[in-house]
Amino acid sequence: MPEKKAFIFDTNFIIQNQELDEALDKLKEQYSVYVSQVSINERIAQQCREVKAKFEEAEKCNLKFSHFASVVFKKTYAEEKAFYEKGVQKRYEKYFGEHIIPFAEDGEMLRTIIDRANQKLPPFSSDKNASDKGFKDCLLWLSILTYFKDNGEDEVIFVTDDKSAFRNNVDFLQNEFRDVTGKTIAIHPNAYYRETLIQPEKAEPSVAEIVEEFPNLEAFREEVAEAVGGLLGEESESYYGDPDWLQTFTTSVPFDKEYAKTFFSGLQTEMFEHLFEESIPASVLLNFDGRVTDGDIEIPMQSLEKVLKVYKAVLKNYPQYCDQFYEAAAKVLNRNYYKPSPSPFDIIDENGDLPF
């Protein structure tokens, strides 16, 4: 039996796949699945920031209504933060075991990262006016290089939606990986997981059958996923230099293809009504029945222009597949679907587990 390939995902994959344990179970049937300690630390930090924001909100309420009510804290933020740090780490260790890629916390690693930043080597931007943003991306990449130089499988798949650091530098990074490790790495967007990896294997159809039954949609399929995904939010950087995901909306009820059809059918009209604005609130475009709540930012007009272009291409070139397009678009939009969040003081499920 051939050796499994290695599968590694970036932090944004964890965020987009809310049911991560389900994704892991499917992947482990075919792959040795890895996560980096860099991504774990980043995810823990994001969750701790969310908890801190809730503590601050509770404290504001305490001050605002102090003349007739008071908030009694069951825990301090420091206690809750320590609980998350320890508990979430143990949860990852439970699922990944020995497949957590470590990183060296020493001066040599820091010197290597600084040297790459000075030379503007990927994952740092090579643009002469670019900032030194990319420290954690570089740390992640170097940890992967170091690990697979002496460990792991000969073929690696790395999925990430980070264009500036990874997907725009595929050739350089693949060549470096081969030179350092003697192995191969393929770098794909997160959509690769659902569209390619979790589909059941089928018998190879003949060339004639492929030509007759299916159009060549590989490139266009990725364009659709990327364009619709651009409506969900944007990667940003916090005041402290930490990566942050700014959502454009959340929905309390999942979208279906009919809801997506309504959205796309009226999109051009809505855009004309906001023609000279740089962005439009998601609730203006998507909230037909009260399910959508605006997020951290509005949807950029450029993202809307891009998805409208893709939609018109479907209508013009593949009108017989409109229903399939609406279905696919609804699945992408549902990445921003969230069930009611538990209280920060009640995050343990009935089995005593912590969320990813």
Q: Residues 128-168: pLDDT tens digits?
A: 665 667 888 999 999 999 999 999 999 999 998 888 889 88
Among 139-153, 164-178, 210-224, name the one with the lowest average pLDDT.
210-224
pLDDT greater at residue 171 or residue 191: 171
Tracing tokens 């909230």 back to the chain, one arrives at 287
| Average pLDDT of the residues in 233-241 | 73
User: How far is CA 328 from each of CA 110, 311, 347, rounded to the nearest angstrom?
Assistant: 43, 12, 32
| Average pLDDT of the residues in 64-92 | 89
Q: Which of 11-15, 163-167, 209-213 has the highest mean pLDDT?
A: 163-167
Q: 31 with 5: CB under 8 angstroms? A: yes
Q: What CATH topology corresponds to 5-196?
A: Rossmann fold (3.40.50)
Q: Which pLDDT does position 210 carry in this prediction?
A: 44
| pLDDT of 116 over the 60 cut | yes
| pLDDT of 321 over the 90 cut | no
| Average pLDDT of the residues in 177-190 | 93
CA separation for the pair 28, 189 (Å, rounded): 19
pLDDT greater at residue 217 or residue 293: 293
CA separation for the pair 18, 22 (Å, rounded): 9
The 10 Å Cβ neighbour count of residue 43 is 19
112 strand-pairing partners = none
As to burial, measured by CB atoms within 10 angstroms (0-12 exposed, 13-18 middle, 19+ buried), residue 131 is: exposed
Residue 320: band (very low, low, confident or very high) from pLDDT cuts 50, 70, 90: confident
Domain boundaries, the chain: 5-196, 213-336
Q: Which pLDDT does position 231 carry in this prediction?
A: 95
Q: What global pTM score does this model have?
A: 0.55
Helix residue ranges, H only, the chain: 11-16, 20-27, 37-64, 77-96, 107-119, 135-150, 170-181, 191-192, 207-213, 218-229, 257-273, 282-286, 301-317, 322-333
Residue 20: band (very low, low, confident or very high) from pLDDT cuts 50, 70, 90: confident
- Measuring CA to CA, which residue among 258, 259, 249, 267 is closest to residue 337? 249
Tracing tokens 């997506």 back to the chain, one arrives at 260
| pLDDT of 212 over the 70 cut | no
Q: Mean pLDDT score of the chain, rounded to an integer? A: 84
| pLDDT of 342 over the 60 cut | no
The rounded percent of the chain whose pLDDT value lies above 90 is 42
